Structure 1
Amino acid sequence: MEETNREAEATAVQRVAGMLQRSDQLDKVEQYRRREARKKASVEARLKAAIQSQLDGVRTGLTQLHNALVDVKDIQGSLADVSKDWRQSINTIESLKDVKDAVVQHSQLASAVENLKNIFSVPEIVEETKHLIEQAELLKAHRKLMDLEFSRDDLMYEQYRMDSKNTSDMSLIRIYFEDVQSLSDELAKQLWMVLQRSMGTVRRDPTMLVSVVRIIEREEKIDRRMTDRNKQTGFIPPGRPKQWKENMFKVRPRRHPHPTGRTRSGSDYRSEMMGHPDLRSECDVNHLEPLLPQDVVDELLSKYVQTFTSNITGWLRKALETDKKDWQKDTEPEADQDGYYQTTLPAIVFQMFEQNLQVAAQINEGFKEQVLKLCLKQMNTFLIRYKEEAIAYKEDHLRDRQLPQCYIQYMIAIINNCQTFKESINSLKRKYSQSSEPTASDANIEKTLNEVAKEGCQFLLDEVFLDLELHLNELLTRKWLLGSHAVDTICVTVEDYFNDFNKIKKPFNLEMSGEAHRRVVVEYIKAVMQKRITFRNAEERREGADRMMKEAEQFKFLFRKLTAGEDTDRLCDSIAAIAEVFKLTDPTLLYLEVSTLVSKYPDIREEHIVALLATIIETLSQSKPAYMGIMQPIFKDITVPSMTMTSMTSMATAKLLK
């Protein structure tokens, strides 16, 4: 301490010596003394505030540690009680074996009763399903097939649980439902037939192709569920897993049949005839002219491109119309293997592109590149239409927010489709393009997809804040000060919505969390600036500041959870910083607190400071220090140039901002 004092004295002497190097500076000694006194007071005030903040933090930490210790003791006592009860109940559990057997039997009977209707009507349902398959009503046929399979699987599972070694009863159930497997095989044949003719089907009836894809996705989900149950219980129904998705890729046509046939004929002509040993000595195929002149080839390719352009425009329009009809459904969209909502639109679109690119690849590399560029160009036009339809979908919903019932889920699927489109486009380019350089078309597609996704996220956030509007208007009002639960309701509502928003793919889900956080804080600070409440005294103002600090912590906790632990403190700290200004009891510290606020948030403007001061200035004036004794007037007879109060306030505020 003594050494510190000596260093301070030496520094002070050196500083004073630097100030008083000339004789004329002695006249300014008093001015220097006052300036240093002000600096000292400012530093002491900052130090006092910092120490007070640290003490508050230590006090809070000790309180939390004490509460944690109490909780640990309570948990320890509860664990001891549980352990005691468990030891006492061992004998009781052994005596409940008969009850357990009765429960198993009851479960089996309940399953039988639940499926009784299907059990008695199995022959009738089998005939109906056969008829639906023959009529190409594949979705309805698959629904009835699923009902039959669920009834059979539930009965067999209950029998397996009760007595897994009783093969006779299991065989009886299998024989009774033996037609179910043949129906499944028949339906599979129809699916493979549609897929083999997908080029014609997608032009004639794209809905049929969509139905096939949906049926296969449903069966994939059932396969995964049955495989998981097999790992847990050891039981798996007959015929599972069906693995229809793998079979789909095996039977799907690799190329368009007609150009492929022509290509194969040309190949046979060259290899089997021109390559025949008896003809080899007569001619050299390397010196033969092409079978078709180049101008004819160019004309044929030009016609193909024109036809393809016309066809793909129609295909994309029909695919989008089908997807739009799905948006109005009362059931949620299907999810991928990771649980993210999606529709079948990207799969249908890129299956079209894939098949046509395979055809183009059979001709030559240059034509393949040309078709790829054409696909990407049509994709850009299609995405602009997709964006317009998403906006129209939102506007229709705002006219009646009760419809469609699954608006949020399908808007999430639209956002996720944008990410799927990006991945599929990159996959096509890697597979069919030799150039890795980005093009103008790529940039336009990327821009449009980002716009669709971001606008979709904005639509979802607008939906959230429409529900929060009443509670946000309640902030910083007299009702809020007296104990409103507005912030609790806001936090619960946001968290509930984000349970659905978890089905959004990265990076859009993280962007949504950050934007929701920013909007909540902005709305809160707006409420502060609008002066919705007039504090009656300094005590009320201090209560409001404490409530603001508490609610800032609530927002921090909520958005840390929603953003998976990312740093969310800076936004919420702006509320706490304003609360510190509200807490002021000493008017002399106002300059310090406002300066701190401006340094932390440089984008704060003059009107913000004026609005903030207008909220607290009335009660702050009550805290002015009283001066003892009678003071002789000094400024009474001094006149200054006229200046309005408003301009004076603006100048003072501008100085604070600097």
Structure 2
Amino acid sequence: STMEETDREAVATAVQRVAGMLQRPDQLDKVEQYRRREARKKASVEARLKAAIQSQLDGVRTGLSQLHNALNDVKDIQQSLIDVNKDWRQSINTIENLKDVKDAVVQHSQLAAAVENLKNIFSVPEIVKETQDLIERGELLQAHRKLMDLECSRDNLMYEQYRMDSKNTHDMNLIHTYFGDMQKLSEELAKQLWMVVQRSLVTVRRDPTLLVSVVRIIEREEKIDRRMLDRKKQTGFIPPGRPKKWKEKMFNILERTVSTRIEGTQADTRESDKMWLVRHLEIIRKYVLDDLLVAKTLLDQCFPPHYDIFNKLLNMYHQALSTRMQELAAEDLEANEIVSLLSWVLNTYKSAEMMGNSELSPEVDVNSLNPLISQNVVDQLLSKYMSTLTSNIIGWLRKALETDKKDWIKETEPEADQDGYYQTTLPAIVFQMFEQNLQVAAQINEDLKTKVLLLCLQQMNSFLTRYKDEAQLYKEEHLKNRQYPQCYVQYMIAVINNCQTFKESIISLKRKYLKIEMEDTLSSSHTSMDATLDIIAKEGCSSLLDEVFMDLE
């Protein structure tokens, strides 16, 4: 058995230990000492073993005691449940008999609500009239207080009716019809509120308390909306006309007002005023800046902080301006109008004259404003401008040359410069026209200015070829009849002198408007123009010499 095996193992272990202790003869003298030591060890082990067993026994005793108590508790609970079951079965009949009491309680609750609202119910027509008078006198806060009382009476009655019999639409409609005038009052009051909101930027300067009253009424309605929506989640009932969403409507009206204000600034058309667009854009700039300054300094104080009214208005103005600028960009604009529009959109809008105004910062950060029109639209306008300008320059140059040619056949001598040299007005007219267009282009950006300069010099190149041909024709016509034109020599001298003026003007124009790094792109064009001008001057001098020789002959 297991015990015998354990005994055998213990004996074998003891034999080994004794053999280990008594390996030498002198160790026999210590036998008694060894025995005492082992006896002490044995006593210690036995004491620990007893303590452990005692602890185990105590635990088992405690556990048995608790199990015994639990069994008694279970028996008590079982008996209690039997008693409860018996009482419940006996009381079922009693509960069924109380249904009449329950119905009476519901009816009492409804009657109590009716009695509470009875005074208001009977005086509805009178309160409606009082409220109407208050609205007409502009006492909006008091009018709204009475309207709230009326709505509260109606909503409580309808709620009790809904609780009693939610499918009884006849009684619901009866209450709704009795309070019918109240809906008209609500609409009339709303109309007054929206009129104040539309004129808020004017009202805030004249009568800020009126605007504050309007905001308070809207806040009251927002709270009632939230309360009614919460009740709908719990009961499924919501009164007619809820939620009113007056705060949302207020922002929609502000948005429409801003759009109308921007659109309404165009007083003139191109037919009535050539400068219609410049005037239109300047009025917009002034109005928007004034409105935003009023919004920041005065309007912001009339609204609760969570309305974030200034930033909302800022976004509305930005959006309305963006829409208006896109509409203008889509019109058939002339070249100068394209420049006015682009200059306003790209420069004026974010400048200190408008959104960059120091009084608007730090609320308005021009760097965070989106472009009013897309880059694609800007590119289309610039392309259209360059195309229109090209045809305009060609037309202007042709007209200038035609006018100059008419002078060549006059019977009076050409004008002289301060040094007494003959000249015509052609170079001055041409370069004045170039200057004007370059100054206009510079209003938009450097890139456009460079493009316009290249266009001017390119057209100048073609123009000088025509100028050379016309000078040659002038000479040939004169040779047919040397008496005509009378001042041929003087005008030919003026043409030759013009060549020098043209050269100097081209150099001056490039120096003033062309960046040094762009010089190389124009060197061939410049050389070509110089060569053409040299030919005109050379052929002019040649024709004058021919004239002298013919006179000598």
TM-score (norm 2): 0.41
Q: Between Structure 1 and Structure 2, whose CA radius of gyration is higher?
A: 2
